[in-house]
Amino acid sequence: MLLANFDTGTFLRETWQKRPLLMRNPWDAWRNPLEPDELAGLACEPEVESRLVLRASDRWQLEHGPLSAGRFEKLAAQRWTLLVQAVDHHVPAVAELLTPFRFIPNWRVDDVMVSYAVDEGGVGAHFDNYDVFLVQGLGQRRWQIGARCDQSTPLLPHDDLRLLAHFEPTDEWILDPGDILYVPPGYAHNGIAVGGDCMTYSIGFRAPSRSELIAGWAEHLASELDDDDRFSDADLALQANPGEISAHALARLQEMVTERMASGDDFACWFGEYATAPKNQEIDWRPEQPLQLDELRSFVSAGIPLMRNPASRFAFVRRGEGALMLFVDGRSHDCSGPVAVFAEGLCAADSMVVGPDLLDSAEGASLLLRLLGEGSVAFKPDD
């Protein structure tokens, strides 16, 4: 499925992170990619992150999965919403929803969360710190948009849910299947199911905070540094007051920190690995039997497409003429020449046909076997 009559350039200039936007069924042909029973089945799996939000009068309750199959039978008379995270990692048809939004860089993509709600079900008025495209899959949902919020915005007292204490909608729409509502970071919004079998696909985008970046980068640097690399002051001069930390000492101490913190190449490598780290480290996607080189050659010569694992993250950073650093699932790979061309193609599309020249070099064959062995890619016949 693709978006028809959607100008990405105009959207980025006029809408992205600036204002909400309602798009009435912009798809060339909308098809709901997942049935409610399939979503409920995923919520019962221990490796899948799921939540159940229930509302009784003004009281909100949150339950974390995995849920038992019998749990849903006991909810008939209640207003409830099921939320399942990273469904695109488990259902290829849901992963395909990301394709029209690839005008946003890969490293910004988080996942596709899917929600199912009964009549009047919802998760309450709230705001997120990231961009989201809310795609209506089945049924109808009333979306209300409010003012922009920040850390000072009052919240309801709740241990598990970050709900707004006060919400005044400024806009309101009822979305039908195929409709899309884009909500920038910080905007208050509230979605309420209208009728039963309401399914919404939330395509979210990551936005690392300054504190996360500083903490992660500093932790990485600290693990790489030699403990013997210490402050020295062979030019120490007599001070009038021994209690003073001199400006000269402070400047040298700060330089010890900023000199390594400001290393551009090291930061690029760390961030590439950080940004592509798997969302769920506990799931092992490796095949039972590693592919051998002769099998690899037969797949390539037969022109069988190479498919990216929907749960894997791919990105790259250029490292000069004809060279780049490829990042896949938190690991980095130096690539040059034809291997760099292959890496770019792999990052650009969900599937590709591998040219036989890639295997002419040991570097190319080694990289491909490594990615196959880690479960980041796989050869699959084109249906």
Joined tokens for residue 113? 């969360």
CA atoms within a 13 Å half-sphere pointing along the CA-CB vector of 244: 9
Which letter does DSSP use for residue 375 in this model? T
CB 305 within 8 A of CB 356: no
Given a contact cutoff of 8 angstroms between Cβ atoms, the answer to whether 17 and 128 are in contact is no
pTM value? 0.89
The domain spans of the chain are: 8-205, 210-262, 293-379
Residue in the structure block whose two tokens are 């910004």: 108
pLDDT recorded at residue 283: 78
Residues 5-32 have pLDDT tens digits of 889 999 999 999 999 999 999 998 899 9
Q: Is the C-alpha dihedral spanning 3, 4, 9, 10 positive or negative?
A: negative
Residues 376 and 308: beta-carbon distance below 8 Å = yes
Query: Under CATH, to which class is 293-379 assigned?
Result: alpha beta
Q: Which residues of the chain, if any, have pLDDT below 50?
A: none
Contact call for residues 138 and 177 (beta carbons, < 8 A): yes
**Strand 187-205 relative to strand 171-175, pairing:** unpaired
Residue pair 273/364 in contact (Cβ under 8 Å)? The answer is no
Q: Which residue has the tokens 């992150």?
A: 49
Yes or no: domain 8-205 corresponds to CATH 3.40.50.800:
no
Length of the chain counted residue by residue: 383
Q: Is residue 102 helix, strand or coil?
A: coil
In the prediction, which pLDDT does 279 show? 83
CA distance 165 to 250: 45
For 338, the 3-state DSSP assignment is: helix
Which helix (H) or strand (E) segment holds residue 25: the answer is none
- CA–chain centroid gap for 31, Å, is 23
3-state secondary structure (DSSP) of residue 103: coil
Give the C-alpha separation, 223 to 95, whole Å.
Answer: 36
Contacts from 317-326 at CB under 8 Å and sequence distance 24+? 317/268, 317/269, 317/272, 325/268, 325/269, 325/272, 326/367
CA distance 8 to 250: 49
